[in-house]
Chains A and B, each alone.
Chain A
Amino acid sequence: MMIALLVAVSMLTFGAMSLLGDPLFNILGPVAGDTENPENLAKINAAKEQYYLDKPLPERYVRWAGDFLTGDFGVQFSTDGQPPVANLIKERLPRTLRLMVMAQILAVAIAIPWGVLAASRANKPSDRISTFTAFLFVSLPNFALAVILFYVFALKLDWLPDTYNATDPFFGFTHKHRFTQLLLPAFTLALPTASVYQRLLRTDLITTLQEDFILMARAKGESRRKVLYGHALRPSLFSVVTIFGINAGALIGGALVVEIYFRIPGVGTAIVEAVLREDFPVVLALVMIIATGFVVLNFLVDILYTFIDPRVRR
């Protein structure tokens, strides 16, 4: 199923990108249009042969898929010298991953205590306020939140750096610097995500807290904290884990916007650049990596279920 899904995704992307236009232009520049000059024609034919551009679409797809599976992602058509796409991925992917992992950790770290607190005071004024706050964040688009956070924390309060130093911030700077550079973008991603988690966690927790085993735990004399975190939390994580998978798509989209706004050279920036430059192999490789990540993540979510609830184990 997972494989079929990925094949379908890749075919769709491949097909769509092939309709885009002439990759020759990306490789050779203006020369590509010049079929009069025999010297250029030779170049064109050589390039066509090298990248199988003269072959029919299905064959090109199969060749590409074969290469992709063996780890050969092709070359960047639109960059001089056509360096392999793998180079770009190696450079960009860690940044995006770092950003997303940081955002997820922040989101979970915010959502769990927030959800537990809200559920334990369900329907009291403090809970209503927190529910409303969560609602505000859910309704606030990523790019708007990025602008607001940037305005408040980078421009007005000047707590965090307002520019991302693209000249290799991951090697030349201290850990602290790296951290603060990613803090604003990560928060931009984390706050709405945390709000979604909080809403789900709160609802599930309220249901769990009415369960008999919670009453039993209280009757055993467990502390309030222990009852909430030790007994009620784990069985209430189902919806959060489910949405964790589903939300990954939104998070990727969000990361894309955030990367562009905060000028982080990650996968998101790369994909937008590549699309605009019609760089076929780059887009294909990046879309496939994102789609694969998404599918794999959802597979991991299924495994996570069994960790949360032993009853799911077969």
Chain B
Amino acid sequence: MSESPLLVVEDYHVGFRTETGLAKAVDGVSFTLNRGQTLGIVGESGSGKSVLNRGFMGLVSSSRMIESGSVLFDGQQIVNQDRQDLWGKRIAMIFQDPMTSLNPVMKVGKQIFEPLRRHLNMDKGQARERAIELLTSVGIPSPAQRLSQYPHELSGGMRQRVMIAIALAAEPEMLVADEPTTALDVTVQKYILDLLRELQQEHGMAMTLITHDLGVARGRTDEVMVMYGGRKLEHAATETLFADMHHPYTEALLASTPSLAHPKHTRLFPIPGSPPDIVDPPPGCRFSPRCMYAQDRCTTDNPETTSLTDHEYACFYPVGSDAGAEALKHNQDAGQTATGLKIGRAKEGAH
């Protein structure tokens, strides 16, 4: 298909004015999302992955927020524009916690009817019929009964299904799934993720799947983008990334997260330290204070993005390269990295 991409994000910034200065939550991120494609956006808490999505959707309601750069949705510039006419109708969103994301004092039915009536101008009867179809399609048993129940009468997994049904109600072209399974039981997570993938392909929607768990992205996304401290560190086709990851952060992230992809009782390696201060970020590579590969250069220069055919990464000493191996060996011999991070024996492979 030679169709134009649905979403083109270029050098996008989101900042928040704080008392100590501008917090650069998203710092110059670019990516492209084609119709019918799923992009996994992965990073720790505070990496800016959520703010990135809420930012370009225009859902951040803070007078302290500033955005800049370019975001084209279906060819239309939406940065600093009123985006309300997109919400629900063209871009829908599902949230992390189904316990708090459904209105607790409104019947489930009414919450599904709302977008149907607003965006598709259905009358009550049509909306009801369509709502039952939607609930059936997300795998909810006895859907007609659910309509007159309140959210607290449903289980967490059910509620997340309801939320998905609401998001899909107006047949949006794009879905933003913000940690859709984090708050759910492990056993339910897989079903919801697979359901999302299935529905996304069935409806030909574009989707961004935001998660802190690299394992979630595996097998359910077409591309993966890894974010850290508001920046994009690595971006590749999903299979390429898992076969040959280049950024030490991606490697560390995979080793640190208990995930569905891991067999049980796998030894996990938490990433030492904490995410960077986004008001006053460290010079050079933002990950350098926590990176096992860090050399002197990493603390002063910001690595340019290296672009291969379907793989981008921003690192001087990429994993799997000679330079990377050398850097790691150098640090192991010294017992610490250039930023003073103490390291012991060689870390066992994460996979």
Contacts and interface: CB of A to CB of B under 8 A. Distances in A.
A221 B86 CA distance: 7
A218 B59 contact: yes
Contacts of A211: 100
Contact of B102 (A124, A216, A219, A224): A216
B163 to A, nearest CB: 7
A124 B62 CA distance: 12
Contacts of B95: 212, 215-216, 219
Interface of B: 57, 59, 61, 63, 84-89, 92-93, 95-97, 100-106, 114-115, 118-119, 150, 152, 163, 166-167, 170
Given A212-B95, A311-B150, A311-B152, A220 B87 contact: yes
Given A211-B100, A220-B166, A308 B93 contact: no
A231 B107 CA distance: 11
Given A213-B101, A311-B150, 15 more contacts: A215-B95, A216-B102, A217-B103, A218-B87, A220-B114, A220-B167, A221-B84, A221-B85, A221-B118, A222-B88, A223-B84, A309-B104, A310-B104, A310-B150, A311-B105
Contacts of B97: 212
Contact of B104 (A219, A222, A311): A311
A66 interface: no
Nearest to B88: A221
Nearest to A217: B103
A218 B101 CA distance: 11
Nearest to B87: A221
A175 interface: no
A235 interface: yes
Contacts of B59: 215, 218-219
A222 B100 contact: no
Contacts of A224: 84
A221 B58 CA distance: 12
Contacts of A310: 104-105, 150, 152
Interface in A200-241: 211-213, 215-224, 226, 231, 234-235
Contact of A213 (B61, B86, B100): B100
Contacts of B104: 213, 235, 309-311
Interface in A300-314: 308-311
A308 B102 CA distance: 16
Interface in A133-187: none
User: Taking each of A212, A224, A309, which has the highest tally of chain B beta carbons within 10 Å of its own beta carbon?
Assistant: A212
A234 B106 CA distance: 9
21 contacts: A124-B63, A212-B100, A212-B101, A213-B102, A216-B93, A216-B101, A216-B163, A217-B103, A219-B57, A219-B88, A219-B92, A221-B115, A222-B118, A223-B84, A224-B84, A234-B106, A308-B105, A309-B104, A309-B105, A310-B105, A311-B104
Interface centre among A220, A231, A235 (most CB of B within 10 A): A220
B89 A221 contact: yes
B52 to A, nearest CB: 15
Contacts of B114: 217, 220, 222, 226
A219 B61 CA distance: 12
